Amino acid sequence: MTPSPLLAAPPSALVARLAPLHAAMTHWRHALHAHPELAHQEHATAALVARVLGEAGLAVTQGVGGTGVVATVHGREAGGASLGLRADMDALAVREAASRPHASCQPGVMHACGHDGHVAMLLGAACHLARTRAFAGTVQCVFQPAEEGAGGADAMIADGLFERFPMERVFSLHTWPDLPAGAFAVHDGPVMAACDAFTVTIQGRGAHAAQPQRAVDPVLVAGHLITATQSLISRGTDPFESAVVSITRVEAGQAFNVIPDTARLEGSMRCLSEGARERLRRDLARLVEQGAAAFGATASVSFRSVARVTANTPAEAALAARVAGEVVGPAQVARTLAPSMTAEDFGSFLAHRPGAYVWLGQGAGEDPPALHQPTFDFNDAVLGLGAAWWVGLVEAALPEGKG
Phi–psi pair at 293, nearest 5 degrees: -60, -30
Helix (H) or strand (E) holding 158: helix 152-158
Cβ atoms of 266 and 198 closer than 8 Å: yes
* 195 is an annotated ligand-binding site residue: no
Known binder of ligand: residue 372? yes
Q: Where are the domains of the chain?
A: 5-192+309-397, 205-296
CB atoms within 10 A of CB 55: 11
**Residue 344 annotated as binding?**
no
Contact 355, 170 (CB under 8 A): yes
**Residue 376 to residue 98: CA distance in whole angstroms:** 8
**Which CATH fold would you assign to the domain 205-296?**
Alpha-Beta Plaits (3.30.70)
* Other beta carbons less than 10 A from residue 227's beta carbon: 10
The fold adopted by the segment(s) 5-192+309-397 is Aminopeptidase (3.40.630)
Element of type H or E holding 198:
strand 189-203
Helices (H), 35-133: 43-55, 115-132
Whole-number Å distance between alpha carbons of 386 and 8? 16
How confident is the prediction along the chain (403 residues), in pLDDT tens digits per residue? 334 555 656 678 899 999 999 999 999 999 999 999 999 999 999 999 999 999 999 999 999 999 999 999 999 987 779 999 999 999 999 999 988 999 999 999 999 999 999 999 999 999 999 999 999 999 999 999 999 989 999 999 999 999 999 999 999 999 999 999 999 999 999 999 999 999 999 999 999 999 999 999 999 999 999 999 999 999 888 888 899 999 999 999 999 999 999 999 999 999 999 899 999 999 999 999 999 999 999 999 999 999 999 999 999 999 999 999 999 999 999 999 999 999 999 999 999 999 999 999 998 666 778 899 999 999 999 999 999 999 999 999 999 776 5
Determine if residue 115 is labeled as part of a ligand binding site.
yes
266 is in an annotated binding site: no
